[in-house]
Amino acid sequence: MPQGLKGKLRQAVEAVVRGERTRISATISLVLCDDETIRDLNARYLGHDYPTDVLSFNLSGAEQHERESGELVGEIIISVETAERNAKRFRQTLERELLRLAIHGVLHLLGYDDATPSQRRRMREKERKYLRLVEATK
């Protein structure tokens, strides 16, 4: 992974954590993988036997624990292969799609959901907000 992209991904994760939960410290790992790996994880942990673009795992336990301890521990898994297909479909760069997926993953870790149309709109708005913030930073 190019060093510049690694730094941008880190910036994206940090921007969301700071912007959404300023009192919580976070340790979040970000894994870039292939479709086969994410399909296996999706099947094993969520019962969905197909590749997806991003998975988020909150490893610190219940949201109540986060409020009491002030710490979030999570893992975000992104399929680069699916991100490449998404980037072509949405007519944007792979870097921008990876940043969007990282932001999306952090939002899930922080309790946001996208199961309903209104929840999806809210997450998309937040994704755009943090993408603009990261892209404006050099």
- pLDDT tens column, 59-83: 886 555 455 567 778 999 999 999 9
Predicted pLDDT of residue 137? 84
Predicted pLDDT of residue 79? 98
Predicted pLDDT of residue 22? 60
Q: What does the chain come to in residues?
A: 138
Q: Which residues contact 37 (CB under 8 A, 6 or more apart)?
A: 77, 79
Predicted pLDDT of residue 67? 54
With a cut of 70, list the residues of the chain below it in pLDDT. 1-3, 21-23, 61-69, 138
Predicted pLDDT of residue 2? 58
3-state SS, residue 18? helix
Residues β-bridged to residue 58: 74
Q: Where are the beta strands (DSSP E) in the chain?
A: 25-33, 54-58, 71-79
Residue 79 sits at the vertex; the CA angle it makes with 78 and 84, to the nearest 5 degrees, is: 115
On the CB side of 16, CA atoms within 13 Å amount to 30
Predicted pLDDT of residue 60? 80
Predicted pLDDT of residue 97? 97
Predicted pLDDT of residue 40? 98
Q: Rounded to a whole number, what is the distance in angstroms from the first to the last CA of the chain?
A: 18
